[in-house]
Amino acid sequence: MTAGDEGVARVEELTMRFLDGAADAAEKAELADLVEADAGARDLHLRLIEVEVALRGGRPAQVAPAVLEQLARERADRAVRAVMEHVTSMTPIQRGPRARARRWPALLALAAAAAVIAGLWWGTRAPGTASRPAPRVMGRAAAPPAPVETVTGAINVMADDFEAGELPEGLIDGERATGMCAPRSQRCLVGTAGEYDPESHTITLERFRPPLFSYAPNQVLSFDYRVGPDAPGLRVQAWSRDRRANFRIVLRDLIPDRWAHAEVRLQDLRGYSDRGPLEPGDAVSNIMFVAGRRPGAPFYLDNLRVTEYPEDASLPTTSAAIPVE
């Protein structure tokens, strides 16, 4: 049995809510039933947990085979629910984008939880089985916002069209690309394997002193992008040096296989356990974009802006469904 597109989207949604501590008892039970009944759902759920382990501070630690064997003898439904209850109760690990400090007890517990699931389900996955079926691309109607140039008093607090001859200062993940860039652009960025998620296409810009910019509620992050149909979402994540936490949003209304435009109100970003939004004056030192799975269709990014609108101006609705002419 293989989960359909709607089932894959539901498993991903429930897993992210569970990891953020936002899932209620009914959602946890639904997720447990889905991952217990379907091999594809289990594989996706496990992969998301493994990524969360990396994002929260490091790679999973090794668990003794004897422990896994003992755990594997338990019934899968009880183990799944126990793992979810334990991970949900954990306080999210706070870290910097390149921090090396670890809260090892919590990290090992989360890693062990992922290992429990791996031990229980390893025998149910056939070699070479795809980790996730082709997901459904979800779209919604969105009127293009007014161009920044026509909004009186709007200023760019951060801007890069990547046309310079050198790579952008502070580019951590990603490479320069030519020939496939947005209309009227000669150069752009293409995602590479990220430090925390090597199986996804990642572009990361980072600067600590001074930070990339200081957050204000009337700021909008905008960029052009191109993804393939295998990208169910595009994650935008910002690291606050002052809060020592990540704040993120996943854009689902992507337009695949062509250049499109995204507008993100930074006040819509949220931290772990639905914490947020950012607070005025927070120093944003890192912005990360993650989309698609390697070695699938590449993820391109161009014309990055953080625009501060006048306080009395209407901000555009957060959307990635804006065509680029």
Asked if pLDDT for residue 91 goes beyond 50, the answer is no
- On whether the CB atoms of residues 68 and 116 are closer than 8 A, the answer is yes
Residue 138 lies in a domain: no
Residue 299 lies in a domain: yes
Least-confidence region, from 63-77, 105-119, 152-166, 286-300: 63-77
54 with 193, same domain: the answer is: no
pLDDT digits (tens, 9 = 90+) for 214-264: 999 999 999 999 999 999 999 999 999 888 899 999 999 999 999 999 999
Burial of 149 (0-12, 13-18, 19+ CB in 10 A): exposed
Residue 315 lies in a domain: yes
Q: Is the peptide bond before 210 cis (omega within 30 degrees of 0)?
A: yes
Which among 30-44, 50-64, 166-180 has the top mean pLDDT?
A: 166-180
End-to-end CA distance of the chain: 42
Asked if pLDDT for residue 189 goes beyond 70, the answer is yes
Q: If we measure between CA atoms, which residue out of 15, 88, 93 comes closest to residue 49?
A: 15
46 with 163, same domain: the answer is: no
Last-in-domain residue among 91, 124, 157: 124
Residue 143 lies in a domain: no
| CA quadruple 49, 53, 59, 65: dihedral sign | negative
286 with 163, same domain: the answer is: yes
Q: What is the CATH number of the domain that holds 242?
A: 2.60.120.430
* Phi, psi dihedrals of residue 155, rounded to the nearest 5°: -130, 150
231 with 278, same domain: the answer is: yes
Residue 140 lies in a domain: no
Residue 98 lies in a domain: yes
- On whether the CB atoms of residues 49 and 113 are closer than 8 A, the answer is yes
202 with 279, same domain: the answer is: yes
116 with 176, same domain: the answer is: no
102 with 154, same domain: the answer is: no
Work out how many domains the chain is built from and give that number: 2
311 with 222, same domain: the answer is: yes
pLDDT digits (tens, 9 = 90+) for 281-297: 999 999 999 999 999 99
| CA quadruple 61, 65, 70, 74: dihedral sign | positive
Structural domain boundaries enclosing 179: 148-323
Q: d(Cα 7, Cα 80) in Å, to the nearest integer? A: 18
173 with 298, same domain: the answer is: yes
Residue 131 lies in a domain: no
* Phi, psi dihedrals of residue 148, rounded to the nearest 5°: -55, -35
Spell out the residues 6+ positions from residue 51 whose beta carbon is closer than 8 angstroms to its own. 196, 197, 200
108 with 42, same domain: the answer is: yes
Q: Mean pLDDT over all residues of the chain?
A: 75
Last-in-domain residue among 124, 140, 160: 124
Asked if pLDDT for residue 99 goes beyond 70, the answer is no
Q: For residue 140, give Cα distances in angstroms to 79, 182, 253, 321, 324.
A: 38, 22, 6, 7, 16
Residue 133 lies in a domain: no
Provide the β-strand partners of residue 308: 155, 219
Last-in-domain residue among 72, 90, 124: 124
28 with 100, same domain: the answer is: yes
Q: For residue 221, give Cα distances in angstroms to 105, 166, 181, 301.
A: 36, 23, 19, 13
Q: Which residue has the higher pLDDT, 90 or 208?
A: 208
222 with 119, same domain: the answer is: no
